[in-house]
Amino acid sequence: MLGFVVRRLAATLVVLLVASFLVYVLTAMSGDPLADLRSAGTRQALVQLASLEERLNLDVPPVLRYFLWLGGAAGCLIGRCDLGISIAQGEQPVIDALGAAMGSTLQLVTLATILSIIVGITIGMTTALRQYSGYDYTVTFFAFVFYSLPIFWVAVLLKEFGAIRFNQFLDDPVLSPLATILISLGLGLVVAGIVGGGLKTRVRVFGISLLLSLAILTLSSLTQWLKSPSLGIIGVILLTSGLAFLITILNRGLDDRKAVWTAVGMVAAVAALWYPMQFLFFFVNNPLGILAAVVILGVVGFVVGTFFGGDDKKEISRLGAIIGAASVLVLVLDQMLMRFEEYKAAISLKAGFISTIGAVTPALARSDDMWLRMLDSFGHLILPTIALMIVSVAGYTRYSRASLLEVLNQDYIRTARAKGLPERTVIMRHAFRNAMIPIATIITFDIAGLIGGAIITERVFAWQGMGALFNKGLQAVDVNLVMGFFIVTGAIAVIFNIVADVLYSALDPRIRVN
C-alpha cells in the first residue's frame, strides 16, 4: 500500500509541475504587472520600477523565470518557502498573503464538503431504497434543478431571501396559522415519503410528524424562541435522545434491547454531566475543551456499553462510545446558544444574525471567548456554505442513488437476504460500504470544484479568502499571487487523491490485497 501511494504521489507531482509551468507562462505573458508605474513617468516611479523589475526578475524570459520561481517554491518541502512578493498586495510576501486567506477559504470549503457528503449521501441512499416512489421522483426533479443552477445566481438569491428578509422575520418571528399548517404538512409528507412502508405505516408516520411539527412551530411562535434561542437541560435531553436513537437505529436497530438500553443510559449520562461540563467549557475556553469533552463522553459511552453489552460487549461498547462522542455536538450547540444575548450585545445586533458580508465581525476578531467567535463564524458561514452545498448535494444525491441501486442488484446482497438477515443489516453492513467506493472518487474531484465555486461565492459575500487573492492576482497580472493560489489548490488535490486511495483500501479489502 505504501509503495502504491508513493507511486501515485510521484505521478501527481509530475502533473502538477507541467500544469504549474503552463499556468505560470500563460499568466506572465498575459500582461505587464508594472504598466501603471511605467506610464507614471516620475522619478520616484522610475526608481520603484527598477527595484520591482529586479525583485520580480522581469528581465528574465517567462520560461526561464518559472524555474527561478520553482526553486523558491521547492523550499516549501524543507520549511523555507519563498513564493516571491505580490504587487497586488502592496509588495507583501505571497506566503503571508496566503496564510491570512487560507484559513477563511479552507474553513468554508471544509464545512461545505462535509455537510454536502452527509446530506447528499443520506438523501441519495433513501431515494434508492424508495425507488420509483413519489419521494424518489421529487428528489430527482429537484436534484436536476439544483445541479443546473449557476452558483452566482444562487448566492445572490440567498443573500436577499436567506439573510436580508429572514433577518427581518427574526425581528418578530411569529408564523401565521396558515404558514404553520402548510410547513407542518410539507414536513409530514417528506418524513412519510422517506420512511415509506405500507399505506397504514405512512399515514401513521405522517400524522405523528404533522402533530409534532404543529406543536414545535406553535410553541416557537408563542415563545419567540428564534429571537432568543436556547436549549437548556430539557433541549439537551431531547436532542441527545434523538441523536442516540438515530445512531442506534442505523447501527443495531431498535430490536436489540442491549443497544436501546445503552442509548437510554447515554442520554441519562449526558443529562447528569450537563452541569459539570459547564465548568469544563468555562475554564478550558478553547478547542482542547471540546476535545476533552469528546474523550470523556466517549469513555463514558464505552463503559455504559460494556455494562449493558453482555455477550456483545465489543459491539455495544463501540456503539456507546460513538453516541457519547456525537452527543458533544449537542453540548457545543447549547454552549453557543447560552451566549447568544451576549453575542448580540457585543456586535450591537438588533434583528437576525445571518451576515451577508465578510468572514468575521471586526468587533469579535480578537475576542478571547471561543464560543462568541464560533457563533460569529456560524452567522457568516451559513449562506456561503449553503451556496456551495446546493450543487454538490445534488451531485452526491444522484451518484449515491445510482451506486446503491447497482450494489443492491448484486448476488451477495440476494444471498444476504436469503440467509434471513434483517434489511437494516443488509443495507448498512453489506451494501453501504461497497456503494461508497465510487463516491470516494467523486469526493476528491468535488474538492477542487468547491474551491473554484468559492472564488465566485467569496466575491458575492465579500470574503477575503483565496478567491479574493486569485481575482486580485489575475486583474493585476500578479504571477506570484496566482501561482500561490495554484500551489494551495494543487496541494489539496494531491492530498485528497491520496486520501481517496486509502479510503478504497478501507472500504474494500480486496483493493488492499492487490
CA distance 65 to 484: 15
> In sequence order, which ranges of 29-163 are alpha helices (DSSP H)?
35-40, 43-56, 62-74, 94-129, 134-147, 151-157
Q: Looking at the domain covering 1-171+384-514, what would its CATH class be? A: mainly alpha
What's the alpha-carbon Rg for the chain, to the nearest Å? 27
pTM of the model: 0.81
CA distance 402 to 299: 38
Q: Which three cell numbers stand for residue 149?
A: 443552477
CA distance 72 to 141: 50
SS3 of 481, please?
A: helix
Segments making up each domain of the chain, as ranges: 1-171+384-514, 174-223, 229-349
The C-alpha cell 445566481 sits at 153
Label residues 350-383 b or e (16+ Cβ within 10 Å = b). Answer: eebbbbbeebbbeebeeeeebbbbbbbbbbbbbb
What's the pLDDT score for residue 349? Answer: 67
Paired with 92 in beta bridges are 86
What's the pLDDT score for residue 344? Answer: 80
What's the pLDDT score for residue 350? Answer: 64
> In sequence order, which ranges of 310-348 are alpha helices (DSSP H)?
313-338, 340-346
For residues 477 and 27, is the Cβ–Cβ distance under 8 A? yes
Q: Name the DSSP letter for residue 33.
A: T
Interval 160-198: pLDDT, tens: 888 888 888 887 788 888 889 999 998 888 888 777 677
Angle between helices 313-338 and 287-309 (to 10 degrees): 150
Give φ, ψ of 174 to 5 degrees. Answer: -120, 120
- 3-state SS string for 247-295: HHHHHCCCCCHHHHHHHHHHHHHHHHHHHHHHHHHHHCCCHHHHHHHHH
Q: From 307, 314, 279, 305, select the one nearest 293 (Cα to Cα).
A: 279
Q: Which three cell numbers stand for residue 321?
A: 462510545
Q: 413: which residues sit within 8 A by CB, 6+ positions away?
A: 407, 426, 430, 431
Low-confidence stretches of the chain (pLDDT beneath 70):
1-2, 4-5, 40-41, 196, 349-352, 365, 448-449, 452-453, 506-514
For residues 320 and 265, is the Cβ–Cβ distance under 8 A? yes
CA distance 111 to 374: 13
Q: Which three cell numbers stand for residue 93?
A: 510576501
Give φ, ψ of 86 to 5 degrees. Answer: -110, 120
Q: 384: which residues sit within 8 A by CB, 6+ positions away?
A: 108, 112, 155, 454, 457, 458, 460, 461, 463
What's the pLDDT score for residue 324? Answer: 94
The C-alpha cell 469528546 sits at 294
For residues 391 and 151, is the Cβ–Cβ distance under 8 A? yes
